[in-house]
Amino acid sequence: MTTRLFTSALFAGLIAGLIAVLLQWSLMENLILEGEEYETGNKSHFGGVLVINETQEAASPDATQAEDPAPAEDEESLFTRYSLAFFADFTTFVGWALLMVAGFALVERFGQRITIKDAIIWGVAGFAAIQIMPGIGLAPELPGTPAAELEARQMWWVTTAISSALAFALFGYGRTVLYVAIGIALLIAPHLIGAPRLEGYAGLAPPELAGEYVARSYAVAFISWVVLGLAAGYFWNRGNAAQTA
């Protein structure tokens, strides 16, 4: 059982992490780089006017060449960045997959078999619990976006994600109205308390860029979670078939 659990989580996390990284590179990397331009002050945006800040400095040709990064350094920097992104996504999705297949094992102990369809629903529920519900109060943010204190935001995010996951579990497997009522209470309680916020809105990047980043973040997360559920369900059922063969 333990071997099957870890094997299913490892392969599912690898597949979902790879899909997530590919989608992030193709859909979000340009937005992140654009946001970093505003964060560093290379670009500024006020009142609908884009300003590109250029520093004019007198320098010798040798000094200018020394300041410009070499192509090899650029390629190495991009390789390092993408490698770290893949490692982070892979590690994260393996962790989520471990929790998911542990849930599969728990459900099957109570006599309910997990099908591929069920696993995909688990993936959608994971997306809702980890992305949508916390995102109601703390949406994905571009680099340089002002926000409340990090520790307070992390505490609220973790609390919301856990309570939302428990709520969806009660909705899916609760057998009485009481379980559903408890699930509703768990679902809305963090939002009644409210996420940590600044007193006003401010940002260095244009709101259109921030809005596009949020939309693409949710799209990438949804696809990645569905793939995670599908892969976890496939490898879990494959392990079941191997044991019964």
Instruction: Determine the pLDDT at residue 37.
Output: 74
In the predicted model, is pLDDT for residue 87 greater than 90?
no
Evaluated on CA atoms 79, 84, 87, 92, the torsion sign reads negative
φ, ψ of residue 16 in degrees (nearest 5): -65, -40
φ, ψ of residue 45 in degrees (nearest 5): -140, 115
Locate all alpha helices (DSSP H) within 24-149, ordered by sequence: 29-40, 61-67, 71-109, 116-127, 133-137
Q: Which residues contact 104 (CB under 8 A, 6 or more apart)?
A: 114, 119, 122, 232, 233, 236
Largest CA distance in the chain: 78
Tens digit of each residue's pLDDT (9 = 90 or more) over 39-55 = 666 666 665 555 555 54
Instruction: Determine the pLDDT at residue 2.
Output: 77
Amino acid at 95: G
pTM (two decimals): 0.82
Tens digit of each residue's pLDDT (9 = 90 or more) over 30-86 = 888 777 777 666 666 665 555 555 543 444 444 444 445 555 556 667 677 777 877
Query: Which residues sit opposite 126 in a β-bridge?
Result: none
Short-list 206, 166, 172, CA closest to 187? 166
In the predicted model, is pLDDT for residue 220 greater than 50?
yes
Element spanning 46, H or E: strand 43-46
CB atoms inside a 10 Å sphere around CB 90: 19
Alpha carbon 47 to chain centroid, angstroms? 31
- Helices and strands, number each (H, E), in the chain: 9, 2
Instruction: Quote the CA–CA distance of 53 and 46 in Å, as a whole number.
Output: 13
Query: Which residues sit opposite 9 in a β-bridge?
Result: none
